[in-house]
Structure formats: C-alpha cells, structure tokens
Amino acid sequence: MFLIIGLGNPEKQYEKTFHNMGFLAAGDCAALLHAKFKKKECEASVAEGYLNGEKVLIARPLTYMNASGRAVKQLMKKYKVSPSELVVIYDDYDLPKGHVRIRPSGSAGTHNGMRSVIVETGISDFARIRIGIRDEGVDIPLINYVLSDVKKEDYALFTQACHRAAEAAIALAAGEKFDAVMTKYNG
C-alpha cells in the first residue's frame, strides 16, 4: 500500500493558483494509474489505483492547505500507512519556478500545509516532492503570491513540472530506489 498526497485548496477559485501544484500533480498521478477521484473519505478526495498488484491511494485533502495534516493523519491511520509508504507533493516558494525537488525527509520550511502534516502526523521522515513556484520578477507578499493564478506564459512550464512530480511519485510507489528517483527527476 502506498499513499500519495497532493496538497492544495479544494475550491474552484484556487484551481489554477500556485498553491494548487500538489492537487494538479495528484491529478497526474491518478491519470498515470488510470484512477479517478470517486470517493471522499478522511476529509479528502481519494482515487484508488494499482501498481504491480499493490494498491496506491492518491488523495487531495479537502481541509484547505493550512489544515492538510488532518486528512493525512486520518488516511494514514485508516489504511495503516507507514512513513515509508507516504509521499507528499506540494508547491515550494523556496525553489525557482518549474523546478522539482525530491527529498526523503525534512522540515516544513515556509510551507504551512507541510507544517500541518508534520504536526498532525508527528513525523517528518516521509518523502516529499516539491514543485518550485518562485518567480524572481514578482514582488508581492507571499500569501498573495501563492494564491494568485499561474501566468498564461508559465502554464506549460508548471504543467510539465507537475507531470514530472507525478512520475516521480509513481516511481517511488513502484519501489524504485530513492536515489535513482532523485537523480532522474530533481531539477
């Protein structure tokens, strides 16, 4: 069993914002596994797929970004998911736009959604895939930036980054070596 979580905000108004990169990547994960977000449980929208005969759950917390940890904690408990079977995908302002960074553990950094996941679950030793959103040409407060829409000229770049993040998550779920996945998808 493997659990892939894409962080974001559930309302349509946030659909194309920087803060929804995790939701977009989760959608790509579901597409790669031919899974659909059909059920709602544990305060999340959940898609169920299979990879090498093993169940893979892909979830989008419906709790809004800053309370994402509640859904993650509930899903981990319900499905008895260990930290080594969890990957969280999210936007990261500390990385340049379009970059993907995979790490086996770490802190929340400046990300409130990740802070919620770490606080609620009590763990930080789980895989995380960060999608860079920082645009050096934009100078507005962080909260306004992450909730703003991706510029049309950058949409293809972020679409590719989300797809690369999804491929990396699926590779981890398939049991590929962490170092090999980092080497292939970081950057």
Which listed residue (19, 99, 111, 163) is catalytic? 19
Q: Which residues contact 55 (CB under 8 A, 6 or more apart)?
A: 1, 2, 48, 49
Q: Beta partners for 59? A: 5, 46
Residue where the block lists tokens 């194309």:
16
Please tell me the distance from the alpha carbon of residue 84 to that of residue 172, in angstroms, as a whole number. Answer: 10
Active site residue 19: yes
Active site (catalytic) residues: 19
